[in-house]
Chains A and B, each alone.
Chain A
Amino acid sequence: EIVLTQSPGTLSLSPGERATLSCRASQSVSSTYLAWYQQKPGQTPRLLIYGASSRATGIPDRFSGSGSGADFTLTISRLEPEDFAVYYCQQFRSSPYTFGQGTKLQIK
């Protein structure tokens, strides 16, 4: 089973700042099979990025994904108030299609 470790667990930033979230896999995932989601309290997750770097439909361009192999990054270039949420990565390289434990992005 591929274990995804997200860091930091909690990130405290202010609106307008840049956020960098990390997702590290226990083995190579390949850039093809890595997705990122955003989840706000009481809401369903929302797909942000698939294939490590492709933005999903309707996702603002302040969200970007990068990485390959076993190390991936989600970057939010300039935080908006609505971006404060929990973010999860997920791998589709091999079953079970595991999620990271999440990074909580909170307002500083």
Chain B
Amino acid sequence: QVQLVQSGAEVKKPGASVKVSCKASGYTFTGYYIHWVRQAPGQGLEWMGWINPNSGGTNYAQKFQGGVTMTRDTSISTAYMELSRLTSDDTAVYYCARDGHPGHGGYDYWGQGTLVTVSS
């Protein structure tokens, strides 16, 4: 069965960086884009960007340009999202999600979420 398993919760100080992993299983990793979405406490969903696991190509929301880096390691079917220069506004649950409907869009599988807390 398809699964996306993310790395565990992180606590970081302002100005630091965090790298979240998302390990895929149960399907061909290079066949579907992986997107990253975050959700601040009590708030809605915010799209951050995507990575094409096949080519490594990326597309980031302008808000995160210069601060986010999405990469992948196809040998272990894992995608990564690194966010730098953290502030308290980056405290959120970070999700990876598979776009299971190319040509339409729609995340059919989600990771369990990784809580990143930024606090001094």
Size of the chain B interface, CB-CB below 8 angstroms:
23
Contact present for B105 and A97 (CB under 8 Å): yes
Which of the residues B35, B95, B111, B113 comes within 8 Å of A97, measured between beta carbons? B35
Among the 9-residue stretches B12-20, B58-66, B74-82, B84-92, the one with 4 or more Cβ atoms under 8 Å from chain A is: B58-66
Max chain A C-beta neighbours (<10 A), residue from B61, B63, B101, B106: B106
Q: A12-40: which have CB < 8 Å to B? A: 32-33, 35, 37, 39
**Which B residues touch A98, using CB under 8 A?**
47
How many residue pairs between the two chains, A and B, have CB atoms under 8 Å in the bound complex? 66
Q: A29-56: which have CB < 8 Å to B? A: 32-33, 35, 37, 39, 44-45, 47, 49-51, 54, 56
Q: Give A35's nearest chain B residue, CB to CB.
A: B106
Min CB–CB distance A49 → chain B (angstroms): 8
Q: B66-120: which have CB < 8 Å to A? A: 95, 100-101, 103-108, 110-113
Q: How large is the interface on A (under 10, 10 to 19, 20 to 34, 35 or more residues)?
A: 20 to 34
Q: A42-98: which have CB < 8 Å to B? A: 44-45, 47, 49-51, 54, 56-57, 88, 90-92, 95-98
Contact present for B61 and A95 (CB under 8 Å): yes
**Which B residues touch A51, using CB under 8 A?**
101, 104, 106
Please, how many angstroms separate the alpha-carbon atoms of A32 and B62 in the complex? 23
**Which A residues touch B112, using CB under 8 A?**
44
Min CB–CB distance B106 → chain A (angstroms): 3
Min CB–CB distance A9 → chain B (angstroms): 11
Contact present for B110 and A45 (CB under 8 Å): yes
Contacts A88-B45, A97-B35, A99-B46 given; indicate if A56 touches B108 (C-beta within 8 A). Answer: yes
Min CB–CB distance B31 → chain A (angstroms): 17
Is B44 an interface residue, CB under 8 A from the partner?
yes
Which residues of A line the B interface, CB within 8 A?
A: 1, 32-33, 35, 37, 39, 44-45, 47, 49-51, 54, 56-57, 88, 90-92, 95-102
